[in-house]
Amino acid sequence: MTKLLEWVFGVSVIGAAWALVTFDLLNLRLPEAYKEVAWPMPVYLLVVFGCYSLATVGYRVATFNDCEEASKELQDQIKEAKEDLRRKGLKM
Partner 1 sequence: MGLVGFSLLLFTYYTIWVIILPFVDSDHVVHQYFLPREYSVILPGIAALILLLCVGTFIGVVTRKNRKPKVD
Q: Which residues bind partner 1 (CB under 8 A)?
A: 32-34, 36-37, 39-40, 43-44, 46-48, 51-52, 54-55, 57-59, 61-62
Instruction: Choose between 56 and 75: whose C-beta lies nearer to partner 1.
Output: 56
Closest residue by Cα to residue 38 from 12, 18, 13: 18
Instruction: Choose between 1 and 62: whose C-beta lies nearer to partner 1.
Output: 62
Q: Measured from the CB of residue 60, what is the shortest distance to partner 1 in angstroms?
A: 10
**How far is the C-alpha of 67 from the C-alpha of 76, rounded, in Å?**
14
Q: Measured from the CB of residue 36, what is the shortest distance to partner 1 in angstroms?
A: 4
Q: Measured from the CB of residue 56, what is the shortest distance to partner 1 in angstroms?
A: 9
SS (H, E, C) 32-60: HHHHHHHCCHHHHHHHHHHHHHHHHHHHH
Instruction: Choose between 31 and 89: whose C-beta lies nearer to partner 1.
Output: 31
Closest residue by Cα to residue 22 from 33, 38, 9: 38
The identity of residue 13, as a single letter, is V
